[in-house]
Chain A
Amino acid sequence: MKIAIPVIDKNLNSSVDASFGRTNYFMFYDTSTKESVFVENSAKNNPGGAGIKAAQTIADNGANALIAVRLGQNAANVLQNAEIKIYKATDGSAKDNIDALIANNLSTLSDFHKGFHGRN
């Protein structure tokens, strides 16, 4: 299984970025090889639709699951079309969250926000 996580720094001990669409990097962790790959988030500075583009990056990199703090409805639509499971991140590092997912301790994320689009 390939797990995607928005991270602030390019290492396993990074914290999970609260923003999905505007995170610095995505970490892709392969549970069979135990290898992690970091991909820069090309959507980071886009004025709009960052969540959609970021979700495209997740799908294009072949992830099966995403761990995120929160997620917008548009990004969720893309991920659901790609049949990528979405889990809610808990406190702790990216590594902690991966371990928690493998141990089946993460709940799925299903309440998506409408997107900020300049509003709060």
Chain B
Amino acid sequence: MKIAVLSGKGGTGKTLVSVNLATVAKSSTYIDCDVEEPNGHLFFKPTILAEKDVSVKIPKLNPKLCTGCRRCVDFCKFNALAIINNKPIIFDEVCHSCGGCVLVCPEKAFSEIDKSIGKVQMGKSGNVDIYTGILNIGEATGIPIISNLLSNKQDTLDKPVIIDCPPGSSCIVMESIKDADYCVLVAEPTLFGVHNLNMVYELVTLFKKPFGVVLNKCLDGDNPAELFCIEKNIKILAHIPFDPELGKLNSEANIVVKHSDKYHNLFSSLLEKIITEVANEATTNS
């Protein structure tokens, strides 16, 4: 069972929810798809068991074959190629590895070479298997790393796989939730929070994913994100209070459920709810 945790912006509580869900399960897999700034490892402090490089294909020009026809430059929608004095210039870090220039070149002047863009680490911390994707700074996209992370044959039958997504609702998030069985949207109790919640709400609706919302940083009084959920008839899975004790534990990179019975109960019941939701979904669709 793959559970993706996402939110419209950073700092909402994706990693808090993901790390604690993974920890309350008897055994689980945690996958950090926030490859631009993976921070789940700060909490798990895993023993690294394996590491592999992730590379993409980028074009390499054979200047002897190039006639300067410019088709490659005109084709590249990412502006990764320029041409001066009939000589193409390739900007590796702007290239999105689409392979288009290689295809359109009538002289077959391009070949493809591997370029490392980051790595994937596999580790273990207690009963949690931990996969972390790390994108090198300045690279165009983390998608190849995320697809590499999720292509691992994690055992999904008897243990939950928690996917800690990147913030937002762009391509890298789509890649992260593509194969998820359930999506958990984490939201803040502000109007800005509602705006961001709406972005991921639209995304999971578009992807026809079953989902529910975790309201984080809840205060007394009106919660605009909660009102949004009620209005849209969205399932609310849990309320996490705006609590200094929780904030302190979390800011010191502690896994909250290991230090507090109250939060252990909260996250256990959240996990149970999600598992029930996924089971219901499976029955409805079978």
Contact = CB atoms under 8 A, between A and B. Distances in A.
Interface string B60-100: 00000000000001000011111111010101001000000
Specify the main secondary structure of chain A where it touches its partner: helix
Contacts of B94: 48-49, 52, 74
Interface in B106-134: none
Interface residues of A, number: 17
A79 B83 CA distance: 10
A53 B85 CA distance: 15
A46 interface: yes
A46 B79 contact: yes
A74 B79 CA distance: 11
A56 B80 contact: no
Nearest to A118: B36
Contacts of A77: 89, 91
B173 to A, nearest CB: 15
B199 interface: no
A48 B82 contact: no
A78 B80 contact: no
Contact of B79 (A52, A81, A82): A52
Contacts of A59: 82, 84
Nearest to B79: A49
Contacts of A52: 79-82, 91, 94
A4 interface: no
Interface string A84-120: 0000000000000000000000000000001001000
B274 interface: no
A68 interface: no
B73 A81 contact: no
A48 B140 CA distance: 9
Nearest to B81: A52
Interface string A25-64: 0000000000000000001001011101101100100000
A48 B80 CA distance: 9
Contacts of B87: 81
A49 B85 contact: no
B80 A81 contact: no
B244 interface: no
Most buried by B among A49, A52, A56: A49
B78 A55 contact: no
Contacts of A117: 138
Given A49-B91, A49-B94, A81-B89, A56 B138 contact: no
A50 B87 CA distance: 19
Interface string B3-19: 00000000000000000
A114 B73 CA distance: 22
Given A48-B94, A74-B94, A81-B82, 13 more contacts: A43-B79, A46-B79, A49-B78, A49-B80, A52-B79, A56-B73, A56-B82, A59-B82, A59-B84, A74-B91, A78-B84, A82-B84, A114-B138
26 contacts: A48-B78, A48-B79, A48-B94, A48-B140, A49-B91, A49-B94, A52-B79, A52-B81, A52-B82, A52-B91, A52-B94, A53-B79, A55-B82, A56-B73, A56-B82, A56-B83, A59-B82, A74-B91, A74-B94, A78-B82, A78-B84, A78-B89, A81-B85, A81-B89, A82-B85, A117-B138
Interface of A: 43, 46, 48-50, 52-53, 55-56, 59, 74, 77-78, 81-82, 114, 117
